[in-house]
Structure 1
Amino acid sequence: MIADDTEVVERNILIKFGLFGEALLEKIAKKQKILNDDFRLSHMIDLLVHLHIIAEVRVNHLNIITEDVDFEKEKVHVVTDVKSNKEKIKYFFPCALPSYDKLNPALTEIQPLLIAWEIKYSGTTTLAIPQGLFPLTIVHLLERKKEEVDFSPDRDSHKFYRYHDAMSLRVYERYFIDIINRYTHLEIHFRGYKKSYSQIVAEVRELLRKVMEKSSKNLKVEEDTKFIFAFKCPEKGTYCIVREKDKSKGKASTWCTECVSQCNVLDLENDDSYRCWFSDQLSSPGNKFASLEGQDPPTKKCGVQHTELDTSNLIHILDILKKHGYSGVDYYYLGLRLGLLPRTLDVIEEESKGNVRNGLRECLKAWLEQKDNVKSVGGPTYDTLIQALRDEEENAVADGIEKDINTKK
């Protein structure tokens, strides 16, 4: 409930963006006579943050406020100066947002991932989620480092959601996820996917797992009832529940709740739209990413030698990149293409302290040491390096290296 004397701008920012500052909260609290000498405004905010009802917004997040916002057909200028807004807009409250009225169709190149609890009763299997899971999960995601999770652009673009039951977030700076509350399950859409990004999709799944584990603990969900991942069954529209890789199973698989003949969506020929979510649970050590079955291998794409490289080749790779004009400024994203995970690259970036040359060296060294998911995207070869450069639109560099390597054959 909003205090009567709340300014129009503050009220509309709360409703449209879910954002509020201490001044607004204090007005509401005083109106409701919540505060006293023993329970002050700072105590109230600390309690709401501790319970993960609200998320503290970092300064960087303020870029989501556009300078001219049309609130209820009234043109309102919203100040975007960081200093003037620091006190006014500081906390995010997802429950203040309206419900979505329309959703965009999910992309077909990557199927939505479902998260829920498996409920078995009288031979029937259904999915369910505990009440309050959606806003709690959103707050937990926004509590992570902004390099991992941040707000998406303004929802007025009609490409992104900011509602109390549908939320779009930016992940790992270059990608987006839509989280939709279907009330029986959470539905996750991933955007920004390309064939060479498969390790990122699996990393997003693990990010969601960590957040769901926190949410489960906060909601006091019984420890013996663990959430599961699933897909919509392509045949009957029911559910294909993922049975993840563990000590008893060599790889992930699916079980359809109603199909007599199982769909096995993780094993569909020439269809990576499901299995990209579990690429790390389908690959065999030393083999390329399992989801690339049916595609031309890198050697056919590049036509170059595919001998496995190691750290003894580091100086030559640095030299050949320099020779063909690779600046190294975007080494972080090149590393992602090569199979390195954000947590590895974050450490490299932090320790390099802005020195691009050192960052590139350590990135390539980690690649040559086959850290993280390097093997799953082809291993450390010139083929995979060239393909990664092409994916980063460094075509001139890729062409130069390919020409040099082919000349030496």
Structure 2
Amino acid sequence: MNEEDTKQALRYFHDVSLMLYYPEVTNVVFIDSKPVLEILSQLLALTYVDDDNALVSILDKPLPLKVTNNLKEGFFNEDIFEHLKLKSVIFSLPEFQLFDLIRLLLYLNIIKKLQDEQKGHYFIPYALPSYNEPVSIKETNAKPLVIVWREEKSEEILPVPTGLFPLTIVYLLNQKEHITKISPSTPEYHKFRDAMSLKITITRKHTLHLINRYTHIEVYFTGPTQHCPLVRKLLTTAIDNSSDAMHLKHNYVNAFACPYNESCYCIVNEGYKVADCTVCGESPDIGNDYWMWFTDAQGMCIIIIIIYSLSLVYWTC
């Protein structure tokens, strides 16, 4: 076998889940992913384990409190892995060392490399706490978009896939079209494992708020409404990439919150510009402040204005 044949064979074994093969980590294939998962589990355990006896089973040497607090905000440096007991297992072979682990985590979009962040060189949203208090967003010009998962045949509403939300956040941070950064740690922004505020630059900086309600994801955008279709495209691309990475179906749909029933969703039909209710069984009137999320929403507004103007002219005549 030549080199290309070997790579094809490795890709095949990876696709059928017999091993893990990542070309970015040279000279290494993973027959067993358990050590990688376990050292990540130890890292994340540092954010919620406070008992000293339990920490002894995780840490090879103590961590400064500042490092632990930064990790609870999602930030860390490479050397934190040097404190974990499992380092002796996962780094036992010279072919796979700390640099390779970091490169693997970057490739898998589990972590995001940061520039000019004093609290750490990397960001891992999985280390963040879940929100306990109700999360709300101030009213924006465009009403919130809702992303809903449902069974393709029965159309039964499904929960948001476990683990997809933080992965989508990293994909958004890594996309190259528009600079996207983590928002400051201030009360008007959210930084949780299941609710995140991101600063996105489209001509100027605006805020994108994403909230995982577990039955759906709510999307708020504070910028001009003409940018909403672009933001929706960036988000759905990140969801698609996350779904592919997790081997999930792309069985999500765009929707709005039903104005009449909290347990109902208005599923968007872009072709006919209607939103059909999942429970109410009808198509409620949806205002333009909802349709701003879709490409020709501006065009729809112009048409409505023209029709309205013509009706006034006709009435005057």
The question of a shared fold, defined as TM-score above 0.5 by the shorter chain, is answered with yes
Shift of 1:58: 2.4
Cα pair distance change 1:255/1:92, threshold 3 Å:
same
Asked if the contact 1:13–1:20 (Cα under 8 Å) also holds between the matched residues in 2, the reply is: yes
Aligned counterpart in structure 2 of residue 170 of structure 1, from 194, 199, 202: 199
Cα pair distance change 1:227/1:141, threshold 3 Å:
same
Q: Which secondary structure does the structure 2 equivalent of 1:273 belong to?
A: helix
Q: What residue ranges of structure 1 are gaps of 5+ in the alignment? A: 63-79, 81-87, 297-409
Q: What do you get for the CA RMSD once the two structures are aligned?
A: 2.7
Query: What corresponds to 2:245 in structure 1?
Result: 218
CA deviation map 1:13-35 (0-9, x unaligned): 110x2010111123226556321
One-letter identity of the residue aligned with 2:82: E
1:57 and 2:114 are equivalent in the alignment: yes
Cα pair distance change 1:151/1:295, threshold 3 Å:
farther
Asked if the contact 2:226–2:298 (Cα under 8 Å) also holds between the matched residues in 1, the reply is: no
1:281 and 2:296 are equivalent in the alignment: yes
Asked if the contact 2:142–2:225 (Cα under 8 Å) also holds between the matched residues in 1, the reply is: no
Q: Which secondary structure does the structure 2 equivalent of 1:139 belong to?
A: helix
1:243 and 2:269 are equivalent in the alignment: yes
How do 1:194-343 residues align onto structure 2 when only pairs under 5 Å count?
197-222=224-249, 225-237=250-262, 238-244=264-270, 249=271, 251-265=272-286, 268=287, 272-278=288-294, 280-284=295-299, 289=302
Shift of 1:180: 1.1
Provide the TM-score with structure 2 as the length reference. 0.70
Cα pair distance change 1:96/1:293, threshold 3 Å:
farther
- Give the Cα–Cα distance (whole angstroms) in 2 for the partners of residues 185 and 235 of structure 1: 17
Shift of 1:294: 10
- Give the Cα–Cα distance (whole angstroms) in 2 for the partners of residues 25 and 295 of structure 1: 65
Cα pair distance change 1:175/1:26, threshold 3 Å:
same
One-letter identity of the residue aligned with 2:239: M
Q: Which secondary structure does the structure 1 equivalent of 2:260 belong to?
A: coil
One-letter identity of the residue aligned with 1:258: V
Asked if the contact 2:147–2:216 (Cα under 8 Å) also holds between the matched residues in 1, the reply is: yes
Asked if the contact 1:117–1:226 (Cα under 8 Å) also holds between the matched residues in 2, the reply is: yes
- Give the Cα–Cα distance (whole angstroms) in 1 for the partners of residues 75 and 81 of structure 2: 11
- Give the Cα–Cα distance (whole angstroms) in 1 for the partners of residues 91 and 109 of structure 2: 20
- Give the Cα–Cα distance (whole angstroms) in 2 for the partners of residues 276 and 291 of structure 1: 14
Cα pair distance change 1:189/1:283, threshold 3 Å:
closer
CA deviation map 1:27-84 (0-9, x unaligned): 226556321223200111111111111111123xx2xxxxxxxxxxxxxxxxx4xxxx
Query: What corresponds to 2:91 in structure 1?
Result: 35
Q: What residue ranges of structure 2 are gaps of 5+ in the alignment? A: 1-41, 47-58, 310-317
Cα pair distance change 1:101/1:95, threshold 3 Å:
same
Query: What corresponds to 1:6 in structure 2?
Result: 63
Asked if the contact 2:110–2:167 (Cα under 8 Å) also holds between the matched residues in 1, the reply is: yes
Structure showing the higher helix proportion among its residues: 1
- Give the Cα–Cα distance (whole angstroms) in 1 for the partners of residues 306 and 222 of structure 2: 22
Aligned counterpart in structure 2 of residue 161 of structure 1, from 190, 209, 228: 190
- Give the Cα–Cα distance (whole angstroms) in 2 for the partners of residues 167 and 293 of structure 1: 39
- Number of residue pairs the alignment of both structures matches: 247
Using the aligned pairs only, state the percent identity: 33
Query: What corresponds to 1:114 in structure 2?
Result: 146
Asked if the contact 1:255–1:262 (Cα under 8 Å) also holds between the matched residues in 2, the reply is: yes
One-letter identity of the residue aligned with 1:259: C
- Give the Cα–Cα distance (whole angstroms) in 2 for the partners of residues 95 and 116 of structure 1: 22
- Give the Cα–Cα distance (whole angstroms) in 1 for the partners of residues 246 and 205 of structure 2: 31
Cα pair distance change 1:259/1:290, threshold 3 Å:
farther
One-letter identity of the residue aligned with 2:230: E
How do 1:358-397 residues align onto structure 2 when only pairs under 5 Å count?
none
Asked if the contact 1:106–1:189 (Cα under 8 Å) also holds between the matched residues in 2, the reply is: no
One-letter identity of the residue aligned with 2:278: T
